[in-house]
Structure 1
């Protein structure tokens, strides 16, 4: 299928609840260890090491995701969540309020508790995230200043998971998005970025969605041009096939904002 015919993340066909149910709820998804367990492990290592810390974190992730915030809420007093569509905002709000029918993130919360050696505290983990989230704002991909009219402070950490590939229609657009993330960071602050190399689509139900394809060289250049120094890049080659999505490897980057651009 021609990738130009794929749906886009901010199209109305993107169903955030179906997205969570498909990719994040448990072992029925064959790549759960790469898509959920691996980020949980890397973020746990990063935050528990003390190398990334501060008072406020801005999360710019996809699909009303929660699991990336489980470790972050142990370190940061305040979390500001950026979402891209009204359905995503509504889905995230339902989870915050524990509404019936909200997405189920218990698999990830339990997995992190097991990783930490605390198998009984997964609900406590989730409630800690709920208390830490102080604001949910919308990123409008059609605007040059996507958060306008909201003005956010520069913070100590921006966390972005599976997102920048989705909202970037081409490589030029992708290059601009780490800059937009950097504008939210203090000098010396960190971007924690999860992505994949050489992926072309992901599926939700009957729909295929666009995912920008690029390799490690392009990512390194884009981050350097945006004013970052890469402190660590960890690449996990995929060992499994799956008809829901296609990628060669998962990448996790810890990048420090060195300068304004």
Structure 2
């Protein structure tokens, strides 16, 4: 199937609960170690090392995901969440209000507590995320100023979690979005970027969605051109244990904003 015919992340048919239930909350998902275990481990290592700290973090991630904030909530006093679709925002706001009908994140929360050596604290972790998330803001991909009319202060850290390759329809859009993410960071602030290399699609239910194809070389060049310095990069081959996704590698980047572009 021609990738140009795939649906896009912010389409009205996007099912945010289906996304997180399939990829992040089901411990029987064949690639759960990649979609949940890998990022939890990397964020735990990053934050526990002390190399990334600050007062305020912006999260720009896939759907109403929250497990990437479990470690961050121990470090940052305030978290601002940016989302791309109204259904995802609605689902996230329900979770923040402790609505029982939202996805069950206990698998991820318990997995992080195992890494930290205290499995009994997983509900405390979730409640802390609810307390430190202060704002949920929409990013309109159709606008040059996607947060308009909202104006946010520059922050210490941005997490971009499995989303940049989904919202960018081509490589120029990817570069542009990296620059927009950088505009949210203070000089010296960090971007923590999770993505997929050389993927073309992912499935939600019966719908096939677009994923931008690019390699490590392109990613390194795009980050440099957007004003970042790469401090660390992990590239992990995917086990490709199911046909719901087709990415060749997972990638995690710690990049410091060095200059305004």
Same fold (TM over 0.5): yes
TM-score using structure 1 length: 0.99
Q: Match of 2:66?
A: 66
* SS class of match (1:123): helix
Deviation at 1:241, TM superposition (A): 2.8
CA distances 1:153-178 after superposition (whole Å, capped 9, x unpaired): 00000000011101101001000011
Secondary structure of the corresponding residue to residue 71 of structure 2: helix
CA positional deviation for 1:25? 1.3
Secondary structure of 2:135's partner? strand
Corresponding residue of 1:129:
129
Query: Following superposition of structure 1 onto structure 2, how do residues 152-231 of structure 1 map, counting pairs within 5 Å?
Result: 152-231=152-231
Q: Does 1:19 align with 2:41?
A: no
Secondary structure in structure 2 of the residue aligned to 1:45: helix
SS in 2 for 1:181: helix
Report the Cα distance in structure 2 between the residues aligned to 1:35 and 1:183, rounded to whole angstroms: 27
**CA distance in structure 2 between the aligned counterparts of 1:171 and 1:20, rounded to whole angstroms:** 26
Counterpart CA distance in 2 for 1:248 and 1:206 is: 22
How many angstroms apart in 2 are the aligned matches of 1:100 and 1:161? 24
Deviations 1:188-230 (A, max 9, x none): 0000000010000000111000000100000000000000000
Q: Aligned equivalents of 2:120 and 2:241: distance in 1?
A: 33
Query: Normalised by the size of structure 2, how large is the TM-score?
Result: 0.99
Q: Distance in 2 between matches of 1:97 and 1:5?
A: 37
Q: How does 1:86-105 map to 2 (within 5 A)?
A: 86-105=86-105
Separation of aligned partners in 1, 2:151 and 2:135: 12
Q: Distance in 2 between matches of 1:71 and 1:100?
A: 22
Aligned-partner Cα distance in 1 for 2:152–2:220: 26
Could you tell me which runs of 5 or more consecutive residues in structure 2 were left unpaired when the two chains were aligned: none
Q: Deviations over 1:9-52 (max 9, x none)?
A: 00011100011111111321100001100000000000000000
Structure 2 distance, partners of 1:155, 1:25, is 29
Partner of 1:84: 84
* Structure 1 runs (4+) greater than 3 angstroms displaced: none
8 Å CA contact 2:188, 2:257 repeated in 1? yes
Equivalence for 2:256: 256
CA distance in 2, matches of 1:64, 1:240: 24
Residues 50-75 of structure 1: per-residue CA shift (max 9 Å, x gap): 00000000000011110100000000
Instruction: Please give the secondary structure, in 1, of the residue aligned with 2:114.
Output: helix
CA distance in 2: counterparts of 1:141 and 1:234, whole angstroms: 28
Question: Match of 1:116?
Answer: 116
Partner secondary structure for residue 127 of structure 2: helix
- Number of positions where the alignment pairs a residue of Structure 1 with one of Structure 2: 261
For residue 104 of structure 2, give the secondary structure of its aligned residue in structure 1: coil
> Structure 1 unaligned runs (5+)?
none
Cα distance in 1 between the residues matched to 2:201 and 2:241: 13
CA RMSD, Structure 1 to Structure 2 (Å): 0.7
